[in-house]
Amino acid sequence: MRRLIFAVNLLIAALVLAAAGGFYWYFFRALPQTSGTTQTGVVSPVTIERDDLGVPHIRAKSVEDALFAQGYVMAADRMWQLDTFRRVASGELSEIVGVAGLEADRDARRLRLRRIAEVIYSGLPPEERAPFAAYARGVNAWISTHQGRYGFEFAVLGYDPRPWSVVDSILTGLQMSRTLSGDWKAKITKARMLGEGEAEKVRYLFPVRSGFELAPGDDLRPGSNSWAISGVHTQSGKPLISNDMHLDFGLPGIWYMVHLEAPGMNVTGVTLPGTPGVIAGHNDRIAWGLTNLGFESHDLYFERLDPRTGQYVAGNQLARAREEHDLIRIRGRIPEEQVRLVTRHGPVMEPVNGGVLALKWTAQDPSIFHNVFLDIDRARNKDEFLAAISRFGGPGQNFVYADVDGNIGYHAAGKLPIRANFAGDVPVDGASGNFEWQGYIPFEQLPQVWNPPGGFIVTANQNPFPVDYPFPVSGSFAPHYRSRQILDMLQASKQKLTPADGLRIQKDVFSAFSRFVGLQVVAAWDKRGATNQQLASAIELLRKWDGQMDKDHPEPLLATLVFQHLRKAIAERAAPASGGAYDAQMSSAVVEKLLRERPDGWFGDYNELLLRCLAEAVEEGTRLMNSEPRGWKWGRYLFADIQHPIAGKVPWVGKYFNIGPVPMSGAATTVKQTSRRLGPSERMNVAVGTWDDSLMNIVTGESAHFGSWHYRDQWDAYYSGTSFPMQYQKVEGKGTLTLEPSGK
């Protein structure tokens, strides 16, 4: 028996040691060096001081060395994220994950992003190429000195990262443009709905453009909130800037916090992995944030093209589409060849009866690409800031600004096409030449405002274009609910505002729309004198509800299910043959408009419609929650499940790499815009001038390494709605690494 016990104990000890060894080998060996000295490719010594969140504070004697160090720490913390970013953009996922990545690769190849990036690179002037090159050298310096210690994902998938290039950095920028440019397939959806339904009703549901109060669009497109407050309303007497950008959840998250200090530059904020500089943040003079504008940056053209010959009609003559060949490498299978045709408008995306649809997109114009963020990072005042963003070539963005002189401002930026004779909401004829772009809207004529009398500027993806704007406007703009709630909360404050108030507003979960839906249902119940006892408890819940989309309450789910059934009924009425298939494209603001106006020809009795949708909602919710409405919880329906893309799928142990599922508060129409797939990707609240009073946090943490303390050390604060000091002038360092020139 003693021998048996000894043997068992010995086996347990061996297993523990093996597990510890495996954990060390896969997770701890890849952790970055954060103190001491290492020799690498800098010209002069660079210090990288890490604070208690693992944020690198980089101090260099030249901007080039600072960007080298930025690339170095980015690779050290998130090399696999860098690699997957460029693979997603260029359509090379299948090479490492097999057929699971094939469809994504096919879509990416059709967009030709790598070919576009290569053309952009060849045309970049030396002064614009140099920062990218410095960053790439930093990434490659880390790759070349850490062979075999790249991280868990590389070890499990059995490959090494290839060297980073300037083209790869351009690719990551193009991929973000792709994310923010909207879905070109929505134009096909609307066209089909127009063909299948009553055109007048479809146009009512999906208007081309409108004023500030109403705009078409899916409520859950990637968006953001940002606002500026003048010093008149703040405790410090200086402006405040707040920004939270809404993007897909991920492990790690999309943003990386960094502080860069070099002669002529002292900037901190969040950066996009793969690109040099800071995207949103502040320097010692100015602060800025961004939200997506939503102006359409692409169009679909119907080309009368013969796929056998590649010939298509271009005006009064025939042209031949260019044929491009790509080879998609697939792990475990033979490569797949993709043959792609490119017309004068762009790549062929989809066949249709009698021809094809070709995509024209601003990103295909290599002349408009500029990395303006390094110029923003070094801007000293409004004029320099405007000079920088006037060159911005990405999809339309709303830039919100403040400076130490007390100015606040807003300016839309980006290359917005001027459309001739068409709105851009559905595919148009590509043969006639009657529907071409006439250049881009001049920067000076884009929406802007500076130092408004009220002292508040708010942008939450709403439509900023006035009704009498001189150029055609086409876009998927957000409904007014978030922007109105932010402004109402700012104006309602009886105290001077601080960064903590910005955070308080960012986590607000009141939905004016959902409350409106609930009150509409209650009013319909009262007017009809309904007595259905199965629905009575649901009515009483909605009658007393304050519109808070709280995870522990039942009313948010009840109102949301009513809305979903309403949308389906409305879509079926507009296009009966669709079976309600287009309901998800419908904006909440359009549904509100329909219920307020109650136009003839839609429904004989709107009250009956509302009560029918209530009954369907209660039936569905009872099935989902396995209880009557009082027992429902919104957070059981709305939850975040953030999975590690590789380890998170491993049976038994995968859950330790993931976050969730966890119940969430919020909705598409709340300031804290939340769904199962996206939410605030960072929260920044900048105290202009008193910089160290600023607050910032990202979703999970700085590091992508599971063995790091910074893998998810920010999640609890993110989830509870708290934050961290945005260290700038005073840095509480937890270790300093010095990069020395090679050979020293």
pLDDT at 3: 64
pLDDT digits (tens, 9 = 90+) for 592-630: 999 999 999 899 899 999 999 999 999 999 999 988 999
What is the rounded CA–CA span in Å between residue 85 and residue 75? 12
Position 420 in a domain: no
Dihedral-angle region of residue 272 (phi above 0 means left; psi in -120 to 50 means alpha; beta otherwise): beta
Predicted pLDDT of residue 589 = 87
Question: Looking at residue 585, what is its pLDDT?
Answer: 65
The pLDDT of 341-364, averaged and rounded, is 93
In a domain, residue 385? The reply is no
674-694 pLDDT, tens digit each = 999 999 999 999 999 999 999
- pLDDT at 441 exceeding the cut of 60: yes
- Let me know if 614 is exposed, middle or buried by CB neighbors in 10 A (0-12, 13-18, 19+): buried
Q: Greatest CA separation found in the chain? A: 96
User: What is the value of pTM for the model shown?
Assistant: 0.93
Identify the pLDDT of residue 213: 33
| Domain annotation covers residue 572 | yes
Assigned domain for 636 exists: yes
Calculate mean pLDDT across residues 698-713.
95
Which pLDDT value is given to residue 210?
Answer: 35
Cβ proximity of 458 and 490 under 8 Å: yes
pLDDT at 218 over 60: no
The torsion angles phi and psi of 472, rounded to 5 degrees, stand at: -60, 140
Flag whether 725 is in a domain: no
Q: What is the pairing mode between strands 682-687 and 348-352? A: unpaired
- Establish if 206 belongs to a structural domain: yes
Query: Span 301-312, mean pLDDT?
Result: 93
In the three-class reduction of DSSP (H, G, I as helix; E, B as strand; rest coil), residue 449 is classed as: strand
Residue 37 has pLDDT above 90, yes or no: yes
Q: What is the mean pLDDT of residues 432-453?
A: 96
For residue 305, give every residue at least 6 positions away whose Cβ sits within 8 Å of its Cβ, in sequence order, or none.
311, 312, 321, 341, 343, 348, 355, 356
Mean pLDDT of 80-105: 96
Which runs of consecutive H residues, i.e. helices, occur in 299-441?
373-378, 382-389
Q: Is residue 736 part of a domain?
A: no
Mean pLDDT of 174-202: 82
Whole-angstrom CA distances from 499 to 184, 231, 529 are 38, 12, 49
For the chain, percent of residues with pLDDT exceeding 90: 77
CA-based torsion, 584, 588, 590, 596: positive or negative: positive
Answer left, alpha or beta for residue 424, where phi above 0 means left and psi between -120 and 50 means alpha.
left
Q: Which structural domain range is residue 659 located in? A: 185-214+509-670
Type of residue at 720 = S
For 87-101, 217-231, 258-272, 653-667, which range has the lowest pLDDT when averaged over its residues?
217-231
| Confidence bin at 185 (pLDDT 50/70/90) | confident
**What average pLDDT does this structure show over 159-180?**
95
pLDDT at 5: 60
Counting the structural domains of the chain, the total is 1
pLDDT of residue 656: 87
Q: What percent of the chain has pLDDT over 70?
A: 93
Q: Residue 476 pLDDT > 50, yes or no?
A: yes
| β partners of residue 152 | none
- pLDDT over 80 at 325, yes or no: yes
**Nearest Cα to Cα of residue 219 among 466, 546, 583, 614:** 583
The mean pLDDT of the chain is 91
Give the mean model confidence (pLDDT) for residues 573-590.
Answer: 72
| H or E element in which residue 690 lies | none
3 state SS of 344:
coil
**Binning pLDDT at 50, 70 and 90, where does residue 188 land?**
confident
pLDDT of residue 208: 58
Mean pLDDT, residues 386-411 taken together: 97
Structure tokens at 670: 């709340």
Question: 193-225 burial by CB neighbour count: b if 16+ within 10 A, else e?
Answer: bbebbbeebbbbbbbbbbeeebbbbbbbbbbbb
Q: How confident is the model at residue 214 (pLDDT cuts 50, 70, 90)?
A: very low
Is residue 521 in a domain?
yes
* CATH code of the domain covering residue 191: 1.10.1400
Say which residue, 260 or 654, is predicted with more confidence: 260
